[in-house]
C-alpha cells in the first residue's frame, strides 16, 4: 500500500509542530511556506543591535508536555519571568488585572467598582450563565463599575466591536475572576498577588521568540520556503504554487488563515463561499521602537483601555531579555487594533503612536528614537461574533470531509496561545499512523 502524501500548509508554530510530531512518529510530510523563513508570526528581526519580534509573543504553559517540549528544544536558552503587567486609566498606572487592583485609582472610580462587584457577588454573579453575550457576562461577573471603567472600553478597543456583539465562547480562563475578598484587598493597598494563566511566562534569553521556531524547524525535513500556494484543487487533490509547481496530496494540514481558504480552494459551492463571508477578524498595526535610553521600571507590558490613547497595549522587549537591545538602550512594541468596522489612518498612525507614548509618560519629549520597525498584521484575532460558531463549524466540517485538517490559531480560527498552537499541531498529527 502506498504511503499517504501529507502536505502541511504554513511553517508557523502550528505547522512546524504538526510536522515535527508526524516525523517523530515516522510519518513523512512536506511543509510549504510562502515566506523566506519559518515561524509565521513567531519570528524576530535584528535591526541595528536590536531584536524585535513580530509583535509581542510570550510563552505560557498550562501543560507539562508543552513545557518539557520547549525546554528540550531551547535548552539553556529559556528564562522564566514573574509577570510585571500594568494598566493605564484615569491618568494612573495600576497593576494588572484591573478588577483585583483598584488601589491608586480616583476615589469615585474605586467606590463604583467595589459596590458594583459586591452587588454582582450578592446576585451570585448571575444565575443565568448560558447564551450570554459578552457584555452581559462582563456585567454579571464584575458589576457595572468594573465594566464601565475597564472591561467594556478595553474589549471594544481590542475587538473593534461592542461587547454585546461578541459571544463568550473564546473565554476559556483568559480573564481572571477574583473573589470579593481579593477585590477588597486590592483596593486597600497595592496587591502583590498574581492572577491569571500568565502570572509567569517564559522567553528565550537570546535571539528573540523565533528561536523556538528555528529549534523546531531544525529537527524537521522537507520544509519548502518561498513557496506560496495559489490554488487548492479538491477534486484532483492537487496544490498549485505561485511558481507554477504542482503538489499532489492525500491529506492536507492547513494552518493558513481560514478566510484565505475561500480564495485558494477551487470550485467552492455558493453555500460554502457564503459561510466564509461570515468570518471576521481584527488586524494589528505593530510599531516596534528602539529608544536611546534605558527603561528602568522593569515593566513587561501595559494595557490601555480608553480611546484617547490609540494603542491597546505596549510591551518592553528588553525586559523580556536584556540581550534584545544594546546595554544603554531600551526597546518596546505598541499594538493598535483595527478592522473593517473600525479602520485607522495608516498615514498618520505612527505619529499618533509616538504622541500617545509621550502623553502616557512612556516616552519623554526629548527621547531619541534610534530605530523603528513596522509590522502591519492582517490577521490578528478571530472575532467571536454571533455568526462565528455556526460558520466556523460548517466550514471545518466541509474541509474535514475533503481530507483537510484545519490547524492552529488561524487555520482552525480560534483564540489560541503559542502553547495552544503547539498542542494543536500535535493533535493534527495524532490523526495519522505510520504504515
pLDDT per position as a tens digit, 370-396: 999 999 999 999 999 999 999 999 999
Please tell me whether residues 415 and 369 are part of one structural domain.
no
Q: What is the pTM of this model?
A: 0.94
Residue 257 has pLDDT above 80, yes or no: yes
Q: Which tens digits make up the pLDDT trace of 198-223? A: 789 999 999 999 999 999 999 999 99
Q: At residue 389, what are phi and psi to the nearest 5 degrees?
A: -60, -50
Residue 173 has pLDDT above 80, yes or no: no
Q: Which tens digits make up the pLDDT trace of 8-50? A: 999 999 999 999 999 999 999 999 999 999 999 999 999 999 9
d(CA 335, CA 158): 9
Specify the number of domains making up the chain.
3
Residue 113 has pLDDT above 90, yes or no: yes
pLDDT band at 297 (very low <50, low <70, confident <90, very high): confident
Domain hosting residue 285, numbered range: 281-382
Please tell me whether residues 294 and 362 are part of one structural domain.
yes
14: Cα within 13 Å, side-chain hemisphere: 26
Instruction: Identify the pLDDT of residue 195.
Output: 80
Please tell me whether residues 239 and 305 are part of one structural domain.
no
Residue 129 has pLDDT above 70, yes or no: no
- The predicted model gives 97-116 an average pLDDT of 96
Q: Which tens digits make up the pLDDT trace of 47-81? A: 999 999 999 999 999 999 999 999 999 999 999 99
Last residue of a domain, one of 362, 382, 402: 382
Cβ(341)–Cβ(166) below 8 Å: no
Query: SS3 of 249, please?
Result: coil
Residue 68 lies in a domain: no
Please tell me whether residues 217 and 263 are part of one structural domain.
yes
Residue 192 has pLDDT above 80, yes or no: no
Residue 92 lies in a domain: no
Residue 203 lies in a domain: no
Torsional sign, CA 221, 226, 230, 236: negative
Least confident of 129-133, 278-282, 421-425: 129-133
Please tell me whether residues 123 and 244 are part of one structural domain.
no
Residue 88 lies in a domain: no
- The predicted model gives 140-167 an average pLDDT of 96
- Domain with residue 243: its CATH number is 3.50.50.60
Please tell me whether residues 377 and 401 are part of one structural domain.
no
Please tell me whether residues 403 and 273 are part of one structural domain.
yes
Cα distances (Å, whole numbers) of residue 365 to 115, 201, 269, 358: 39, 32, 56, 6
Please tell me whether residues 226 and 313 are part of one structural domain.
no
d(CA 142, CA 151): 9
Q: Which tens digits make up the pLDDT trace of 312-345? A: 999 999 999 999 999 989 999 999 999 998 999 9
Instruction: Identify the pLDDT of residue 1.
Output: 41
- Domain with residue 365: its CATH number is 3.90.660.10
- The predicted model gives 291-312 an average pLDDT of 91
Residue 132 lies in a domain: yes
Please tell me whether residues 294 and 213 are part of one structural domain.
no
* Cell numbers linked to 78: 529559556
Residue 169 has pLDDT above 70, yes or no: yes
Amino acid at each position: 500500500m502506498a504511503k499517504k502524501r501529507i502536505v502541511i500548509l504554513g511553517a508557523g508554530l502550528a505547522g512546524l509542530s504538526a510536522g515535527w510530531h508526524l516525523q517523530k512518529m515516522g510519518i513523512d510530510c512536506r511543509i510549504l511556506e510562502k515566506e523566506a523563513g519559518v515561524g509565521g508570526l513567531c519570528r524576530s528581526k535584528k535591526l541595528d543591535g536590536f531584536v524585535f519580534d513580530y509583535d509581542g509573543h510570550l510563552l505560557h504553559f498550562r501543560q507539562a508536555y508543552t513545557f518539557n517540549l520547549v525546554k528540550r528544544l531551547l535548552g539553556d536558552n529559556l528564562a522564566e519571568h514573574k509577570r510585571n503587567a500594568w494598566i493605564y486609566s484615569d491618568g494612573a498606572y495600576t497593576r494588572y488585572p484591573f478588577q483585583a487592583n483598584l488601589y491608586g485609582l480616583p476615589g469615585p472610580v474605586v467606590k463604583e467598582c467595589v459596590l458594583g462587584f459586591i452587588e454582582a457577588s450578592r446576585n451570585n454573579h448571575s444565575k443565568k450563565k448560558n447564551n450570554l453575550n459578552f457584555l452581559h457576562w462582563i456585567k454579571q461577573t464584575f458589576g457595572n463599575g468594573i465594566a464601565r471603567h475597564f472591561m467594556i472600553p478595553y474589549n471594544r478597543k481590542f475587538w473593534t466591536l461592542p461587547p454585546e456583539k461578541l459571544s463568550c465562547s473564546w473565554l476559556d480562563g483568559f480573564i481572571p475572576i477574583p473573589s470579593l475578598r481579593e477585590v477588597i484587598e486590592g483596593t486597600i493597598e497595592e496587591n502583590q498577588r498574581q492572577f491569571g494563566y500568565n502570572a509567569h511566562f517564559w522567553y528565550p534569553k537570546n535571539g528573540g521568540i523565533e528561536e523556538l521556531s528555528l529549534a523546531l524547524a531544525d529537527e524537521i525535513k522537507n520544509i519548502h520556503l518561498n513557496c506560496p500556494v495559489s490554488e487548492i484543487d479538491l477534486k484532483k487533490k492537487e496544490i498549485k504554487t505561485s511558481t507554477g509547481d504542482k503538489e499532489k496530496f492525500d491529506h492536507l494540514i492547513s494552518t493558513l488563515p481560514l478566510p484565505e481558504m475561500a480564495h485558494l480552494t477551487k470550485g467552492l459551492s455558493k453555500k460554502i463561499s457564503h459561510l466564509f463571508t461570515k468570518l471576521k477578524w481584527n488586524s494589528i498595526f505593530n510599531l516596534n521602537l528602539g529608544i536611546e535610553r534605558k527603561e528602568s521600571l522593569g515593566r513587561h507590558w501595559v494595557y490601555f483601555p480608553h480611546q484617547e490613547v490609540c494603542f491597546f497595549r505596549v510591551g518592553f522587549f528588553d525586559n523580556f531579555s536584556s540581550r534584545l537591545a544594546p546595554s544603554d538602550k531600551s526597546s518596546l512594541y505598541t499594538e493598535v487594533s483595527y478592522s473593517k468596522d473600525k479602520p485607522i489612518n495608516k498615514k498618520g498612525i505612527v505619529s499618533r503612536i509616538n504622541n500617545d507614548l509621550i502623553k502616557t509618560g512612556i516616552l519623554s519629549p526629548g527621547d531619541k528614537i534610534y530605530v523603528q520597525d513596522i509590522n502591519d498584521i492582517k490577521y490578528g484575532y478571530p472575532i467571536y461574533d454571533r455568526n462565528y460558531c455556526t460558520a466556523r463549524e460548517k466550514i471545518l466540517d466541509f474541509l474535514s470531509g475533503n481530507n483537510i485538517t484545519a490547524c492552529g490559531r488561524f487555520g482552525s480560527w480560534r483564540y489560541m496561545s503559542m502553547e495552544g498552537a503547539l498542542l494543536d499541531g500535535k493533535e493534527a498529527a495524532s490523526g495519522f499512523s505510520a504504515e
